[in-house]
Structure formats: structure tokens, C-alpha cells
Amino acid sequence: MSTPILSRRKTIVDIGKAKGTTPVVALTAYTAPVARLLDEHVDMLLVGDSLGMVLYGMESTLPVTLELMIAHGSAVVRASKSACVVVDMPFGSYQGSREAAFNACARIIKETGCQAVKIEGGTEMAETIAFVTNRGIPVVGHVALMPQHVHMMGGYRYQGRTPKERKKILEDAVAVQEAGAFAVVLEGVEESLARQITAKLTIATIGIGASPECDGQVLVTEDLLGLTESAPSFVKQYANLGAAVSQAVEEYAAEVRKRKFPAAMHCFFKK
Ligand code: KIV
């Protein structure tokens, strides 16, 4: 029997070790070319269900299906070598029962080859998170602003404005940790609360619109590259690829119309 080749990928244990040390660098990736570009720079690639909005122009993440997550998750795993790949569980695939959740999570793990899944929800999802982690499925939790709760929240609202909201978010984060998650995303949460949660938890907190004190940060890649129509206010735009694409396509269109493209060097010549 040949010796199995050990993967050089970062593991969930590596992500856990980042607690209180160097922050975890995470970005979303939905496709092979983007995963290939990001892989060497990040610790974690998140195949977020935000792909419904970013890639497919959906109004929310709610219509995203398990099949869509499996197709994009497996593309990202195939195109990456070193990042820990986490795939989002889409709305409706895990809330019905803990057994349904296990079956959907197992499909994601088996059919994509990713290392972990992400599940939105706090105290109300704790039993499910415990059920799937006890059966071998690593879970990243996701509390505070949960995009799959957009209708319940009445929009994408910053979380942690009132003492009651703050108490619930803290309880949610603790419940997710106690249920066995190895990390938790804190999204759109008031900065001092994100700091307080990070200090209280022993698992890594990954912030998005949260606090620099979180144990890691995640953003939607297309937002930071300037490829989305409008990015949330907490995003820092590191490049304006939208403008670069527009300029390149304008030039191409003009050259095609003037018959400047293709030039001789771009043609296959017959003998
Ligand atoms: O779906 C997503 O992209 C996410 C993150 C941005 C945290 O859940």
C-alpha cells in the first residue's frame, strides 16, 4: 500500500491556533480562477452563499440551493492547494431537523472535498451544530447579522444596538462555541461587542464589519476588488477592477468596430 500524500492545506486546527496570535485572513471565493489567485495569500477560502447575490444577481441569499453550493465549493477546492476551504450551508438545507442538517452537511463535505461548513444561527441552532460536529463535520458558526434572516431583521441592519440585542448575540456566540464550532463569524456587529465576544470565547472569531480585535477578518472578494455595484460601508476597496474591466472592454469594442482587432498576429494563417 502506498503512503498517503499529506495535504499541505491549512486545517481547522491551524485556524483555531490563530486565537490571540496572528489574525486569520479569510476571503470569499466562488470560482476556480479566483480561488487560484487568492489561495497563496489567505488562510481560509469561504464559499459563501453570498454568491447568489454577487454572481447570480439574486436579491438575497435565500434562493441559493445545495446543488449550487456543491458546484462552486468543488470548483474552489479543485483550484486551491493551501487554504482551508469552508462552504456555506444554504437556507433551507439545515434548519428543518438535525438529521436533515447532517445529511446536507455530509453531501457538502463528500461532494466538494472542503474541510468545514458554515451554519448561520445561535442558540436555536446549537443542538444542530452539536449533532453534526459530534458526527465528524467541522462547523464555523455565524451570528449577529445573519443574511439568511434578512426578512426577520427587516433588512440588513447593524446588530447590537440595544442591551437586549447585545445579550442575545453574546449568548448566541457562546452557544455556538459550546455546541462544538471551531470558529464563528461575527457579522455587522457593534465594535465593542465584537471585542467583548472575542475576549470571552476560546474559539476564533472572524469579523466582517465587526472589530479589528477579532481573531480574523473576512470580506467578499468582489467588494474589495471593486467588482460589485455597491459595497457595504465597512468594506475597504483595495482595487478598482470594475473600472479596469470597463476600460479594457471599451477598447476592445472600439478596435473590433474599426477592424483593428484581430491584427495579423492574432490570426491563424493557412498555408
Ligand atoms: O456568504 C458570505 O459570503 C458570508 C460572509 C461574507 C461571512 O457569509
On whether the pTM is more than 0.85, the answer is yes
At residue 20, the pLDDT reads: 86
Domain contains 257: no
- Residue 187 in contact with ligand 1 by CB distance below 6 A: yes
Q: Is the pLDDT of residue 258 over 90?
A: yes
What is the largest distance, in Å, between two alpha-carbon atoms of the chain? 79
Q: Is the pLDDT of residue 123 over 70?
A: yes
Measure 243 CA to ligand 1 centroid, in angstroms. 24
Domain contains 269: no
Distance CA 91, CA 63 (A): 7
Distance CA 149, CA 39 (A): 30
Domain contains 254: no
The mean per-residue pLDDT over the stretch 68-90 comes to 98
- Residue 68 in contact with ligand 1 by CB distance below 6 A: no
Q: How confident is the model at residue 95 (pLDDT cuts 50, 70, 90)?
A: very high
Q: If DSSP codes are grouped into helix, strand and coil, which group holds residue 195? A: helix
Q: Which residues contact 91 (CB under 8 A, 6 or more apart)?
A: 49, 61, 62, 64, 148
Q: What is the pLDDT of residues 12-61, one digit of tens each?
A: 999 999 898 999 999 999 999 999 999 999 999 999 999 999 999 999 99
Domain contains 30: yes
Q: Is the pLDDT of residue 5 over 80?
A: no
Domain of residue 204, CATH code: 3.20.20.60
Domain contains 212: yes
Domain contains 248: no
Query: Which atom of ligand 1 sits closest to the CA of residue 187?
Result: 7
Q: What is the pLDDT of residues 148-171, one digit of tens each?
A: 999 999 899 888 899 999 999 999
- Residue 43 in contact with ligand 1 by CB distance below 6 A: no
- The residue segments making up the domain with residue 27 are 12-240
Domain contains 23: yes
At residue 18, the pLDDT reads: 87
Q: Which residue has the cell 444542530?
A: 128
In contact, 190 and 143? CB cutoff 8 Å = no
Domain contains 149: yes
Query: Which atom of ligand 1 sits closest to the CA of residue 208?
Result: 7
Distance CA 211, CA 185 (A): 11
Q: Is the pLDDT of residue 1 over 70?
A: no
Domain total for the chain?
1
Q: Which residues contact 118 (CB under 8 A, 6 or more apart)?
A: 46, 48, 86, 87, 88, 89, 139, 140, 141, 142, 185
Q: Average per-residue pLDDT in the chain?
A: 95
At residue 6, the pLDDT reads: 55
Measure 220 CA to ligand 1 centroid, in angstroms. 7
